[in-house]
């Protein structure tokens, strides 16, 4: 990392007011951009569990890596790695080839029986491909609005790291060469540069309010924010509008868990059952639930832990809200928030599923649920196309969020 980078500072609550100060600074210095980082990013250390080496993900390598290492691997005495990398059908210099898998398995060809990596053992960390060196670290230019770094939930070590280092850090830095075109105004279905930051601060503050209600009840306030932005018009949204929304909500926050109708809850259960098809046990459990036979209420201890981990998950997901990637596709603001809500409610179901045979919800239950959500729910390119999320109107997304949030189990003592 360059030594000329400005030092990171703590982004503190209330986030909206802190980011308002950042906006004021950047209006005076438009040649700078906002950089956001999860504190856990720099504390991560690979546990060498080999789990990521057995997943059905692409392990792509660049053309430079292929040219440097293909012959080296092919000369290994056992002959195991003569064709360790296979060229892509449409190669480019960044995604030129992929590592092969072991016969009849998703396991990387370099994964040893003791779960160690042959490349790492014989040639050192520097010889690993860029994907293998960086995972689960995620470095994004988010819609040319800001730069961010965080850890991906799909790694089994990440949920605990995020819980241990929950802070958000930031700095103002010169615009990087690959983010020179910043979107000052609304584009790609998201607000402009400054409005995006203020919206992020508003959503974070809604999650952080010290009120005795669940995360889902707090996130429900986002529904009204999205509705107001829709009726105003994304292209007309200005910082002054978000300041007004913030003041109105901070002055009238009396959140209470409102029970959803049996019809809404049944619809939400049906959606979640379809979405979690990658977890047959949870899918079957959700299909058996009925609005009149919902899970028992959480104890105070379980509810506190439940809401704490859901808050951390949601805050991390929001950090890359406007990012248009391989998994989120070209979803707009409303569609992306609907998908995040679907993931949040699925994560809630996972935690309750793991709790069903235990007296209390443990941190390990939560870590296990978050890892599954990151691996099997966040990284699902086919579902958003199958469910036509990309074709949903803003109002349909807002209504869908309301229906999903009718299943709120995060209150201690009684279900919402």
Closest residue by Cα to residue 354 from 285, 411, 409, 410: 285
Average pLDDT over residues 7-20: 95
pLDDT band at 357 (very low <50, low <70, confident <90, very high): confident
Domain end residue (candidates: 81, 105, 134)? 134
Closest residue by Cα to residue 413 from 297, 301, 303: 297
Q: Do residues 340 and 394 share a domain? A: yes
Q: Do residues 119 and 186 share a domain? A: no
Average pLDDT over residues 265-293: 89
Q: Do residues 103 and 22 share a domain? A: no
pLDDT of 2 reads: 47
Percent of the chain at pLDDT exceeding 90: 58
3-state SS, the chain, equals CCCCCCCCEECCCCHHHHHHHHHHHHHHCCCEEEEEEEHHHHHCCCCCCCCHHHCCCCCEECHHHHHHHHHHHHCCCCCCCCCCEEECCCCCCCCCEEECECCCCCCECCECCCCCEHHHHHHCHHHCCHHHHHCCEEEEEECCCEEEEEECCCCCCHHHHHHHCCCEEEEEEECCHHHCCCCCCCECCECCHHHHHHHHHHHHHHHHCCCCCCHHHHHHHHHHHHHHHHHHCHHHCCHHHHHHHHHHHHHCCCCCCCCCCHHHHHHHHHHHHHHCCCCHHHHHHHHHCCHHHCCCCECHHHHHHHHHHHHHHHHHHHHCCCCCCCCCCCCCHHHHHHHHHHHHHHHHHHHHHHHCCCCCCCHHHHHHHHHHHHHHHHCCHHHHHHCCHHHCCHHHHHHHHHHHCCCCCCCECCCC
Domain end residue (candidates: 85, 119, 134)? 134
With contact defined as beta carbons under 8 Å apart, do 309 and 372 qualify?
A: no
Q: Do residues 261 and 197 share a domain? A: yes
pLDDT of 324 reads: 61
Overall domain count for the chain: 2
Q: And the tokens for 81? A: 């790695």
Q: Do residues 81 and 146 share a domain? A: no
Closest residue by Cα to residue 224 from 9, 42, 399: 399
What is the rounded CA–CA span in Å between residue 307 and residue 81?
47
291-340 per-position pLDDT tens digit: 777 777 888 899 899 999 999 999 999 998 877 655 556 789 999 999 99
Please say if the pLDDT value at position 414 is more than 50: no
Domain end residue (candidates: 107, 134, 161)? 134
* Full domain range(s) for residue 114: 52-134
Please say if the pLDDT value at position 1 is more than 60: no
Q: And the tokens for 56? A: 């059905």
Q: And the tokens for 177? A: 């060469």
Q: Do residues 144 and 67 share a domain? A: no
Q: Do residues 292 and 339 share a domain? A: yes
- CA dihedral angle for residue 190, residue 191, residue 195, residue 196, rounded to 10 degrees: 10
With contact defined as beta carbons under 8 Å apart, do 391 and 279 qualify?
A: no
Half-sphere exposure of 262 (CA within 13 A, CB side): 5
Average pLDDT over residues 19-39: 92
Distances (CA, A) of 113 to 54, 74, 105, 117, 380: 12, 20, 13, 9, 29
Percent of the chain at pLDDT exceeding 70: 90
Q: Do residues 318 and 378 share a domain? A: yes
Please say if the pLDDT value at position 115 is more than 70: yes
pLDDT of 56 reads: 83
pLDDT of 70 reads: 93
Q: What is the pTM assigned to this prediction?
A: 0.88
- CA dihedral angle for residue 86, residue 89, residue 95, residue 98, rounded to 10 degrees: -20
What is the rounded CA–CA span in Å between residue 204 and residue 18?
11
Q: Do residues 380 and 314 share a domain? A: yes
Q: Do residues 289 and 150 share a domain? A: yes
Distances (CA, A) of 62 to 88, 125, 152, 179, 371: 11, 17, 21, 21, 28
Residue with tokens 């892509």: 88
pLDDT band at 415 (very low <50, low <70, confident <90, very high): very low
68-88 per-position pLDDT tens digit: 999 999 999 888 998 899 999
pLDDT band at 149 (very low <50, low <70, confident <90, very high): very high
Tell me if the bond preceding 327 is cis, omega within 30° of 0: no
361-404 per-position pLDDT tens digit: 999 999 999 999 988 887 766 665 556 788 899 999 999 999 99
pLDDT band at 226 (very low <50, low <70, confident <90, very high): very high
Q: Do residues 191 and 116 share a domain? A: no
Tell me if the bond preceding 14 is cis, omega within 30° of 0: yes
- Chain-wide mean pLDDT for the chain? 87
151-160 per-position pLDDT tens digit: 999 899 999 9
What is the rounded CA–CA span in Å between residue 268 and residue 261?
11
Q: Do residues 356 and 414 share a domain? A: yes
Count CB atoms within 10 A of the CB of residue 338.
26
Mutual angle of helices 300-319 and 215-232, in 10-degree steps: 30
């Amino acid at each position: 990392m360059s030594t000329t980078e400005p030092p990171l500072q703590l982004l503190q609550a209330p986030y909206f007011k802190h980011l308002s100060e950042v906006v004021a600074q950047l209006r005076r210095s438009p040649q700078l951009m906002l950089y956001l980082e999860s504190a856990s990013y720099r504390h991560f250390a690979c546990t060498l569990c080999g789990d990521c080496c057995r997943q059905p993900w692409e392990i792509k390598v660049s053309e430079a890596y292929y040219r440097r290492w293909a012959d080296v691997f092919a000369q290994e005495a056992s002959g195991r790695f003569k064709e360790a990398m296979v060229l892509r059908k449409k190669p480019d210099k960044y995604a030129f080839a992929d590592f092969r898998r072991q016969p009849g398995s998703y396991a990387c060809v370099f994964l040893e029986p003791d779960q160690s990596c042959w490349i790492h053992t014989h040639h050192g960390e520097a010889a690993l491909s860029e994907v293998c060196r960086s995972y689960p670290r995620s470095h994004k230019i988010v819609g040319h609005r800001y730069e961010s770094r965080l850890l991906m939930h799909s790694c089994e070590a990440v949920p605990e790291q995020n819980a241990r280092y929950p802070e958000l850090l930031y700095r103002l830095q010169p615009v990087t060469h690959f983010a020179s075109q910043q979107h000052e105004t609304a584009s790609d279905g998201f607000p402009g540069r400054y409005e995006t930051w203020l919206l992020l601060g508003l959503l974070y503050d809604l999650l952080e309010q010290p009120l005795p209600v669940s995360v889902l009840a707090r996130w429900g306030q986002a529904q009204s924010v999205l509705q107001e932005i829709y009726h105003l018009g994304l292209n007309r949204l200005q910082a002054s509008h978000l300041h007004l929304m913030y003041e109105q909500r901070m002055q009238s926050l009396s959140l209470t868990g409102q029970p959803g109708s049996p019809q809404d809850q049944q619809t939400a259960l049906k959606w979640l059952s379809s979405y979690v098809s990658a977890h047959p046990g949870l899918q079957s459990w959700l299909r058996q639930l009925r609005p009149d036979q919902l899970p028992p209420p959480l104890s105070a201890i379980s509810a506190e832990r439940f809401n704490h981990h859901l808050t951390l998950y949601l805050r991390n997901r929001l950090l890359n809200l406007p990012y248009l990637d391989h998994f989120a596709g070209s979803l707009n603001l409303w569609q992306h928030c609907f998908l995040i809500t679907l993931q949040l409610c699925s994560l809630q179901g996972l935690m309750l599923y793991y709790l069903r045979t235990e007296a209390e919800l443990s941190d390990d239950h939560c870590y296990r649920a978050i890892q599954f959500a990151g691996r099997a729910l966040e990284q699902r390119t086919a579902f958003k196309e199958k469910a036509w999320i990309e074709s949903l109107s803003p109002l349909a997304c807002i209504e869908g969020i309301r229906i999903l949030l009718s299943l709120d189990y995060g209150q201690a003592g009684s279900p919402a």
